[in-house]
Amino acid sequence: MSSEKKKPVVVVALGGNALLQRGQKGTIEDQRKNARTACKQIVKLIQSGYNVHVVHGNGPQAGAVFLQNVNSKETIPPNPLDVVVSETQGLIGYVIQQELQNEFDKNGIEKNVATIVTRMEVSADDPAFENPTKPIGKFYTEEEAKELEKDGYCMKEDAGRGWRITTYSPQPLRILESKAIKTLIDNEVVTVSCGGGGIPVVKKDGEIKGIEGVIDKDRAGCLLATQVNADIFMILTDVEQCYLDWGKKTKRAVEKMTVEEAEQYLQEGHFAVGSMYPKVQSAARFVKETQKFAIITSLDKALDALNGKAGTKIVL
């Protein structure tokens, strides 16, 4: 029997902007360059003895594909949103997989990377389907929005910045490919899964069917980390730590928070719904359900955070 110590399993949630950053044109070269930076950090974690697996967002990429659909709808039938999510899973997974494999080869690491097209079961009765709240894609004028509404798109004004297409964002319930992902994790194959929160599907008339909507990638990452019995759930974003009173003179960083404190801060409105709220909520849920811990930090501080030198640690 092997006496080799089992490596701690870390599920890392990367934002879609880790590959496509604000101000960039969004070329595939931009995304490869950004992915290379992210993969160098992932390699550091692996070299430090962690069994690392990646979940990623797809906001910028899904918005771009959706916009292509809208602009070409007169000549090419647009795909539904579940198919758009699957397209971006393949695109982003390919870029991460290739850049990560290249980094392995450069560093003499004998590992394989596998991208899994991942379906996420949601409830057809989820209250989210009564109110499309998740904005996707670019901003439109009111006149443009009215024309898009004629084509069946739900349009909502977004904080005075213009009108955007909105869709449903249901809660993830079950990852259909979780057993396959767990098998790869147990064999230390680095997985890239649950892209864009997973492809939303429902069970209907005895069949699994895709449904319009997008799933929050942090909530999907929490579910994956729980289902595969991960030791640590890490959310990588664009700030080193969580802050209370963000945007105020009283702004202060939080190095550690308990689940109870996290839930209190969420209720008090310290974290914006469109940014840090689902991250803190998902991290706290993982800790509560597994009795382990979670970390929220920036990409470049990932290893420091695991060593207790950066980030916000969420504990029981």
Coarse DSSP helix, strand, coil percentages of the chain, rounded to the nearest 5 percent: 40, 25, 35
Q: Is 44 a catalytic residue?
A: no
Angle at 173 between CA 211 and CA 46, to 5 degrees: 105
Candidate from 18-22, 235-239, 293-297 with smallest mean pLDDT: 18-22
Order across the sheet with 119-121: list the strands: 174-175, 119-121, 199-204, 207-210
- Reply yes or no on whether the pLDDT at 266 is more than 90: yes
Going by pLDDT thresholds of 50, 70 and 90, the confidence category of residue 22 is low
As a whole number of angstroms, the distance between CA 175 and CA 120 comes to 5
Average confidence (pLDDT) over 273-286: 91
Task: Exactly one of 182, 279, 301, 313 is catalytic; name it.
Answer: 279
Comparing CA positions, the residue from 73, 168, 175, 182 lying closest to residue 124 is 168
* pLDDT for position 165: 81
Range of the domain at 66: 9-120+175-205+215-315
Q: Is 33 a catalytic residue?
A: no
Residue 92 lies in a domain: yes
CB 304 within 8 A of CB 310: yes
Going by pLDDT thresholds of 50, 70 and 90, the confidence category of residue 189 is very high
Number of domains in the chain: 1
Residue 133 lies in a domain: no
Residues of the chain with pLDDT > 70, as a percent, come to 96
* pLDDT for position 210: 96
* pLDDT for position 159: 61
Residues of the chain with pLDDT > 90, as a percent, come to 68
**Whether this model's pTM surpasses 0.85:** yes
Q: Is 279 a catalytic residue?
A: yes
Residues with Cβ within 8 Å of 19's Cβ and at least 6 positions away in sequence, in order, are 31, 34, 35, 38, 56, 60, 61, 92, 95, 96
Residue appearing with tokens 């798109």 = 153
Task: Exactly one of 16, 57, 93, 221 is catalytic; name it.
Answer: 16
Comparing CA positions, the residue from 184, 309, 186 lying closest to residue 256 is 309
HSE at residue 208, side-chain half, CA atoms within 13 A, is 11
Q: Is 313 a catalytic residue?
A: no
- Reply yes or no on whether the pLDDT at 23 is more than 80: no
Average confidence (pLDDT) over 109-122: 97
Q: Is 7 a catalytic residue?
A: no
Residue 150 lies in a domain: no
Instruction: Output the CA torsion sign for 230, 221, 115, 19.
Output: negative
Task: Exactly one of 44, 182, 217, 301 is catalytic; name it.
Answer: 217
- Reply yes or no on whether the pLDDT at 19 is more than 90: no
Residue 167 lies in a domain: no
The enclosing domain of 275 has a CATH number of: 3.40.1160.10
Give the chain's radius of gyration (CA, Å): 19
Residue 125 lies in a domain: no
Residue 251 lies in a domain: yes
Residue 272 lies in a domain: yes
As a whole number of angstroms, the distance between CA 196 and CA 115 comes to 13
Candidate from 126-140, 241-255, 277-291 with smallest mean pLDDT: 126-140
- Which residue type, as a one-letter code, is found at position 49? G
Residue 245 lies in a domain: yes
Task: Exactly one of 134, 182, 292, 301 is catalytic; name it.
Answer: 134
Neighbours of 137 (CB within 10 A): 21
